[in-house]
Amino acid sequence: MLSQESLKLIDVEVAKYPPDQKQSAVMAALRIAQQEKGWLARETIDEVAQYLEMPAIAAFEVASFYNMYDLEPVGKHKITVCTNLPCALSGGVQAAEYLKQKLGIDFNETTPDGNFTLKEGECMGACGDAPVLLHNNHRMCSWMTTEKIDQMLADLAK
């Protein structure tokens, strides 16, 4: 069950759309649900669908279409690295290699302690800041040198 706080946040989103268009809030509602639960289990998606009075399958379609929703459990800290061409030219790929080596995992894997998951991302719209990482979908970290990556991982592991 989603918390009262999450439902309140969802209500704020619903109010942005015409009264007969509650489904428009599904993307935000799934984001809010994922923030609370860490990932989107089928029953969480079903609950969101029910709350917005839409078919469960339609909510699942959305959850599976947009790539920032996690349909499987991820680590406490999900780190997404952009390796697309503009970033790669300024070290995006090498930053990803460094992270893999530091964490001892490959893309789409989680460290055994459940702390870190590493993902390869597509364009985040921040190519001038390369290398760019995204922490838990919502915090962007720019110009990530190896020293800054070390610092970030140390801070997050605390």
Partner 1 sequence: MSERNLILAGLDGDRTWRLKDYMARGGYAALKKIIAESTPPADIIAEVKASVLRGRGGAGFPTGLKWSFMPRSFPGAKYLACNSDEGEPGTFKDRDILRYNPHSVIEGMAIAAYAMGCERGYNYIHGEVFEIYERFEEALAEAREAGFIGQKILGSDFSFELFAHHGYGAYICGEETALLESIEGKKGQPRFKPPFPASYGLYGKPTTINNTETFASVPFIMRDGGETFLNYGKPNNGGTKLFSISGHVNRPGNYEIELGTPFSELLEMAGGMRGGRKLKGVIPGGSSSPVVPADIMMDCTMDYDSISKAGSMLGSGAVIVMDETTCMVRALERLSYFYFEESCGQCTPCREGTGWLYRVVHRIEHGQGRPDDLDLLNSVTGNIMGRTICALGDAASMPVQSFIKHFGDEFAYHIEHKTCLVPEDVQREGSKIYVGPSC
Question: What are the binding residues for [2Fe-2S] cluster?
Answer: 82, 87, 123, 127
Quick check: 50 binds partner 1 (CB under 8 A)? no
CB of 85 to partner 1, least distance (A): 5
**Binds partner 1 by CB under 8 A, chosen from 3, 50, 67, 151:** 67
Compose the 112-141 pattern: x for residues touching partner 1 by CB under 8 A, - for all others: ---------xxxxxxxxxxx--x--xxxx-
Q: Give the integer Cα–Cα distance in Å for 68 and 142.
A: 19
Classify residue 18 by its DSSP letter: -
CB of 77 to partner 1, least distance (A): 16
Q: 46 near 23, Cβ under 8 Å?
A: no
SS3 68: coil
3-class SS string, 92-126: HHHHHHHHHHHHCCCCCEECCCCCEEEEEECCCCC
Which residues of the chain form contacts with partner 1 (CB under 8 A)? 16-18, 21, 23-28, 30-31, 52, 54, 58, 61-62, 65-69, 83-91, 93-95, 98, 121-131, 134, 137-140, 142-146, 148
